[in-house]
Structure 1
Amino acid sequence: MKNIVITGSTRGIGFSMAMEFLRAGCNVILSGRGERLPEAAAASLSLFEGKYIYVPCNVQHKASLQNLWDTSMDQWGRIDIWINNAGQNAPHKYAWETGESYTDNIIKTNITGMIYGSQIAAAGMLKQGHGAIYSMEGLGSNNMIQPKTILYGTTKHALTYFTKGLTKELEGTGILAGRLSPGMMLTDFITRTPDGDPSEVISDERFRRIFNILADKPETVAKFLVPRILSNTRNGAQIAWLTNRKAAWRFMTAGFRKDRLI
């Protein structure tokens, strides 16, 4: 039985992974900015009473992440896997059109928050003598440039660089660092702006066509990622759902597929 901490796990891929870890018999620490779990999430977790706790956490603040670690340790005694999943997007606009607050939030959440989380998890795991740290990749991690999303892509490119570096720094310590590559998913990142309004990106016909070929629901991706996270023993592993081969196959068979997400 492993104890899992997931930042940004009240919805989307974070919540779907939490559910899969619970189904696999793990204890899970969920976290988000709200003071309590959203009602829908709490209802879905009703079958797992005693197997999870929720800890409010704003990853932009290192003290908040430290509290997440400390509270998790108080509850379970050890943390086996820490997943940096909390993420922020920005409006679908050119970089020079993006406001200061959106720019600050995407950097402080996707880069600074991920680094803080990794620092705290690495320090704690080195003391306990074991553990694994994973960070969630995204558009930009593979050097792809998509206009009007380059702030998000920049943060994910930095995440990949940092995680590869952390892998080298942890060599020989018994602590693992790795990357999770979920591909394209139908989440609020796609359908909503940071303010909760409908995103204009989904009205782009070219985007819709590509998205419907390549994207999946977060539940599908979580079912793939979680067992591989639990079984991985290799430092520096990248656990990737949408591989180049899989993407090529989807494009070749796109005319025969009828499942459309948007």
Structure 2
Amino acid sequence: MFGKPIIDLSDKVAIVTGSSRGIGRAIAEHLARAGARVVISSRKPTPCDEVAEAIRGAGGQAIAVPCNISEKAQVDALVDRTLAEWGKVDILVCNAATNPYFGSLDGLADEVFHKIMHNNVLSNLWLAKRVAPGMIERRDGAILMISSIGGLRGDPLIGAYNMSKAADMQLVRSLAVEYGPHNVRVNAIAPGLVKTDFARALWQNPDLKQMVERRTPLGRIGDPDDIAPLAALLCSPAGSFITGQVLVADGGVTIAAAW
């Protein structure tokens, strides 16, 4: 007789930041479908409540804990509330990010650069440091950061954002080395262009969307449900021998010729 499915997250507790919509919501839903108890978190309470209610309505387990990841006190409160409710954190998905600036780095104000790096990198480190002790004690845990193929490429419009995503990739490698001896895995996913509200300025531009589709071997941009199953795999026993890696999910655009 076969045992449990290899992507089985029964009895696991997962925090997913930025999970009221887009990729984060899809990841939370897939984790819940695999049996995890999921914490839905983003800045605004009402969207978090709606997603958590939808997951519960579909038979999953979820609570909503609003959090502005730029505030360390709120990051601490997010983890504390999870521990109070469910006693542990087995899975952390750092999906929340910001990109308030499009344009040349010549025009990038210092305070905007600091905001991007603070929200997209430092907050991920805060979260990892908060959940790691419990994972280390149990000798089991998975931390996943949602990066971007922008961290692998140069770009004249989103250079600062791309720097933050490249930094996340290095953060993953460094934490994987530190936490690996304790059986805590740390990985990243680097999506290509995905149809989310966050990337609306890109995929709603017909010329840009057509250009990306033309250069992408699979001939289309991504959907949040293209990313979420990969996240579930990396956070489950199916990914038990994967750590310190950046898995690209971009329809092949980064390996294709530019013409």
TM-score of the two chains, using structure 2 as the length reference: 0.82
Alignment of 1:108 onto 2:118: yes
Q: CA shift at 1:153, angstroms? A: 0.4
CA contact (8 A) 1:59 1:109 kept: yes
Give secondary structure in 1 for the equivalent of 2:65. Answer: strand
Q: CA shift at 1:232, angstroms? A: 1.2
Q: Which amino acid aligns with 1:155?
A: S
What is residue 92 of structure 1 aligned with on the other side? 102
CA contact (8 A) 1:92 1:201 kept: no
| Structure 1 residue ranges without an equivalent (≥5) | 192-198, 253-262
Cα 1:9/1:243, change in 2 over 3 Å: closer
Alignment of 1:205 onto 2:207: yes
Alignment of 1:78 onto 2:92: no
Instruction: Supply the distance in 2 between the matched residues of 1:101 and 1:152 (Cα, whole angstroms).
Output: 14
- Same amino acid, percent of matched pairs: 23
Range that drifts further, 41-50 or 212-221: 41-50
Instruction: Supply the distance in 2 between the matched residues of 1:250 and 1:16 (Cα, whole angstroms).
Output: 27
Cα 1:140/1:248, change in 2 over 3 Å: closer
Range that drifts further, 3-12 or 88-97: 88-97
Q: CA shift at 1:67, angstroms? A: 1.4
Instruction: Supply the distance in 1 between the matched residues of 2:254 and 2:202 (Cα, whole angstroms).
Output: 27
Measured on the aligned residues, the alpha-carbon RMSD in Å equals 2.8
Instruction: Supply the distance in 1 between the matched residues of 2:107 and 2:202 (Cα, whole angstroms).
Output: 15
Aligned pair count reads: 243
After the TM superposition, which parts of structure 1 deviate over 4 Å for at least 4 consecutive aligned residues?
248-252
Instruction: Supply the distance in 2 between the matched residues of 1:168 and 1:39 (Cα, whole angstroms).
Output: 36
| Cα deviations by residue, 1:30-66 (Å, 9 ceiling, x for unpaired) | 1111133357635633524671001111111222112
Q: CA shift at 1:73, angstroms? A: 1.3
| Structure 2 residue ranges without an equivalent (≥5) | 1-9
Range that drifts further, 44-53 or 118-127: 44-53
| Cα deviations by residue, 1:159-217 (Å, 9 ceiling, x for unpaired) | 111110111111311222112223321112221xxxxxxx3774372454215635211
Instruction: Supply the distance in 1 between the matched residues of 2:180 and 2:48 (Cα, whole angstroms).
Output: 39
TM-score of the two chains, using structure 1 as the length reference: 0.81
CA contact (8 A) 2:40 2:51 kept: no
